[in-house]
């Protein structure tokens, strides 16, 4: 099984562009920039930049690249790349993050050893620096981890340039770059886990790898086996696991910084289905291979715990990841079966493919047992959320509204766009069972909402938010800033949340 490459740090500099020792200096370029917007750049290109702009060879459309050699003797960078960054007024951290990913991928593909990325854009320089560091780091992700014939291009070394900033500002830029590096790496680790197929990442292996990732950063990790899970009475997790010959695990993370207040305790819960066949309510064959990433929420929690510890967040954080396969074995649960949750509520299983909400029900309960005062869960939960919001935006659910809105804002900043959906009490009707406390599905209407309503039953009315990442965890089509494959969604949101005041 491939392991994460140990990454080097990203340096920052306040030198002028002309004096940076690098192979390629990358400058974000705005559609509304004048040809001389960056002093000396056009001259260094021997007039190529102004010519390309005039000829509309380069129009600075988002993520468009134009590369040209430097012709001026006094210039140290061997080549210049301008990269389209849209209109200046709209270029904040989100655009810079994506521009940096795009430039990073291009530079690596062209095997450029040293790249300097110049900070330009709206807002705080330190925010742009963090976003650029995140983006360059995200560009290092390699989805072809099992390719033996064509090794992936070597990693470039990155420098982030904030020309003519004061030493004071540069030291803050430096800190932001280090922060962005850790968040980017943690996202990439989650992507690696989500990319891992079901046979190399069974629940036991997932637990071991997640534990290694988090404990290396100083997080306390405990892996509960099927016996411990039974002692806790987690009938929902055990029920889903019945169809598989692989035993389930419950991964528990604890981050307790010295001197942190008793409260709040942030509780992060992630869905850890290492492969979802649907169980007896089996899925169609076409596209089923995608269901190897049904633990992307669990990976996000594990890797966010890593980032939280490395960045030394000031609050206590608990992570809970129930993990199992969802298989149609001879002992599998069947439609109509009744399961009893650790919280005591009984569930009539209508569809065994609605397994995520089952394992999360026990997971949310356990996070509360461990003292979480505020809950956030992340799960590739429903196909319905993809119908509602598509592939770029996660569904956001929860209560109260202020808590949900806080998550939305943090997610937006982190580049994990999420949009709130309603949880009116009426929707609860759809889960009513004749025989038990509730059913595990509510039919086709409002499918992602009824899934969230199911989870709400296990939150004990503490502030809780649920991110449905079924559409956002995996890119089906390559974008300049996001190759096909796992996206690492929610890692940065969960990590940044541990720095909020609530």
Binding residues vs Zn ion (CB under 5 A): 273, 276, 294, 356
Binding segment for Mn ion among 145-153, 161-169, 272-280, 450-458 (CB under 5 A)?
A: 272-280
Nearest distance, CB of residue 355 and Mn ion, angstroms? 5
Tell me 154's DSSP state.
P
357 is catalytic: yes
| Shortest Å, Cβ 423 to ligand BES | 17
Cβ count near 177 (within 10 Å): 27
Binding partner of residue 384 among Zn ion, Mn ion, ligand BES, none, CB cut-off 5 to 8 Å per kind? ligand BES
Residue 101: CB atoms within 10 A of its CB come to: 27
For 289, the token pair is 């291979």
64 near Mn ion, rule: CB under 5 A: no
Of 194 and 381, CB closest to ligand BES: 381
Q: Which residue has the tokens 């002692």?
A: 231
Rounded Cα–Cα distance for residues 374 and 483 (Å): 34
**Residue 447: CB minimum distance to ligand BES, A:** 6
Structure tokens, 108 = 């690596």
Q: DSSP characters for 205-258?
A: HHHHHHHHHHHTTT-EEEEE-HHHHHHTT-HHHHHHHTT-SSPPEEEEEEE--T
Nearest to ligand BES by Cβ — which residue? Answer: 383
Which range, of 22-30, 184-192, 274-282, 428-436, touches Mn ion by CB under 5 A? 274-282
Based on the residue annotation, tell me whether 409 is a catalytic residue of this protein. Answer: no
Closer CB to ligand BES, 130 or 382, in the complex: 382
Nearer to Mn ion, 305 or 384 (CB): 384
Catalytic residue among 87, 254, 283, 479: 283
- Locate 20 and state its tokens: 């940076």
**Close Cβ partners of 280 (under 8 Å, ≥ 6 residues apart):** 243, 328, 332, 333, 334, 335, 352
Catalytic residue among 205, 357, 408, 492: 357
In angstroms, the CA 24 to CA 107 distance is 8
| Site residues, ligand BES (CB under 6 A) | 276, 294, 351, 353-356, 380-384, 441, 447, 470
Q: E strand or H helix at 362, and its extent?
A: helix 356-369
Shortest Å distance, C-beta 274 to ligand BES: 11
Tell me if 293 contacts Mn ion by CB under 5 A. Answer: no
Q: What are phi and psi of 167, to 5 degrees?
A: -55, -35
Q: At what angle do helices 125-138 and 167-195 cross, to 10 degrees?
A: 30
Instruction: Count Cβ atoms below 10 Å from residue 166 Cβ, excluding itself.
Output: 10
Stretch that binds Mn ion, among 20-28, 271-279, 405-413, 417-425 (CB under 5 A): 271-279
Q: How far is the CB of 389 from ligand BES (least distance, A)?
A: 13
CB atoms within 10 A of CB 114: 17
Interacting partner of 269 out of ligand BES, Zn ion, Mn ion, none (Cβ under 5 to 8 A depending on kind): none
Here the tokens at position 63 are: 């993520």
Of the pair 291, 421, the CB lying nearest Zn ion is at 291
Q: Cα(431)–Cα(454) distance, rounded to whole angstroms?
A: 8
* Sign of the four-CA dihedral 165, 166, 170, 172: negative
Nearer to ligand BES, 13 or 448 (CB): 448
Q: Which one-letter DSSP state was computed for residue 257? A: -
Decide the pairing of beta strands 65-69 and 79-84: antiparallel
| Nearer to ligand BES (CB atom), residue 64 or residue 294 | 294
Q: Please check whether residue 185 is in contact with residue 137, taking contact to mean a CB–CB distance below 8 angstroms.
A: yes
Nearest distance in Å: CB 354, Zn ion: 8
Binding status of residue 276 toward Mn ion by CB under 5 A: yes
Binding mask 335-364 for Mn ion (x = CB under 5 A): ------------------x-x---------
Closest approach, Cβ 433 to Zn ion, in A, equals 21
- In the three-class reduction of DSSP (H, G, I as helix; E, B as strand; rest coil), residue 336 is classed as coil
Minimum CB distance to Mn ion smaller for 134 or for 362: 362
Preceding peptide of 496 cis, ω within 30°: no
Sign of CA dihedral 409, 412, 418, 420: positive
Nearer to ligand BES, 274 or 380 (CB): 380
Q: How far is the CB of 171 from ligand BES (least distance, A)?
A: 43
Write out the catalytic residue numbers: 283, 357
**Interface residues with Mn ion (CB under 5 A)?**
276, 353, 355
């Amino acid at each position: 099984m491939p392991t994460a490459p140990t990454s080097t740090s990203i340096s920052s500099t306040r030198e002028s562009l002309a004096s940076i020792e690098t192979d390629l200096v990358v400058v974000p370029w705005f559609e509304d920039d004048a040809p001389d917007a960056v002093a000396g750049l056009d001259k260094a290109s021997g007039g190529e930049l102004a010519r390309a702009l005039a000829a509309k060879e380069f129009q600075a459309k988002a993520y468009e690249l134009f590369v040209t050699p430097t012709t001026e003797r006094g210039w140290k960078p061997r080549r210049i790349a301008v990269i389209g960054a849209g209109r200046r007024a709209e270029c904040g951290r989100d655009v810079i993050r994506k521009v940096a990913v795009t430039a990073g991928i291009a530079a690596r593909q062209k095997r450029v050893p040293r790249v300097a990325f110049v900070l330009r854009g709206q807002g705080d320089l330190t925010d742009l620096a963090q976003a650029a560091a995140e983006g360059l780091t995200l560009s290092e992700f390699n989805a072809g981890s099992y390719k033996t014939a064509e090794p992936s291009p070597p990693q470039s070394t990155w420098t982030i340039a904030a020309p003519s900033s004061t030493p004071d500002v540069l030291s803050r830029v430096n800190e932001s770059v280090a922060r962005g590096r850790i968040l980017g790496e943690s996202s990439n680790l989650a992507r690696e886990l989500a990319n891992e197929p079901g046979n190399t990442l069974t629940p036991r292996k997932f637990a071991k790898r997640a534990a290694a990732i988090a404990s290396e950063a100083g997080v306390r990790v405990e892996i509960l086996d099927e016996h411990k899970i039974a002692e806790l009475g987690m009938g929902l997790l055990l029920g889903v696991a019945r169809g598989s010959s692989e035993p389930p695990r419950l991964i528990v993370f604890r981050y307790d910084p010295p001197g942190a207040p008793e409260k709040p305790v942030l509780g992060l819960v992630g869905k850890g289905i290492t492969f979802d066949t649907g169980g007896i309510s089996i899925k169609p064959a076409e596209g089923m291979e995608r269901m190897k990433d049904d633990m992307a929420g669990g990976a996000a929690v594990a890797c966010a715990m890593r980032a939280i510890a490395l960045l030394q967040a000031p609050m206590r954080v608990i992570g809970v990841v129930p993990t199992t396969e969802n298989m149609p074995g001879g002992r599998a649960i069947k439609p109509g079966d009744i399961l009893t949750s650790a919280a005591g509520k009984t569930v009539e299983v209508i569809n065994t493919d609605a397994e995520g909400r089952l394992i999360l029900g026990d997971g949310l309960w356990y996070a509360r047992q461990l003292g979480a005062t505020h809950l956030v869960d992340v799960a590739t939960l429903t196909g319905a959320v993809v119908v509602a919001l598509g592939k770029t935006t996660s569904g956001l659910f929860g209560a109260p509204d202020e808590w949900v809105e806080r998550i939305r804002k943090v997610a937006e900043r982190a580049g994990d766009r999420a949009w709130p959906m309603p949880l009116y009490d009426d929707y609860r009707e759809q889960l009513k069972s004749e025989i038990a406390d509730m059913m595990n599905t509510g039919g086709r209407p409002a499918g992602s909402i009824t899934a969230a309503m199911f989870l709400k039953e296990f939150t004990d009315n503490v502030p809780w938010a649920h991110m449905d990442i079924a559409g956002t965890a995996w890119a089906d089509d390559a974008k300049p800033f996001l190759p096909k494959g796992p996206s690492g969604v929610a890692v940065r949101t969960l990590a940044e949340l541990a720095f909020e005041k609530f």
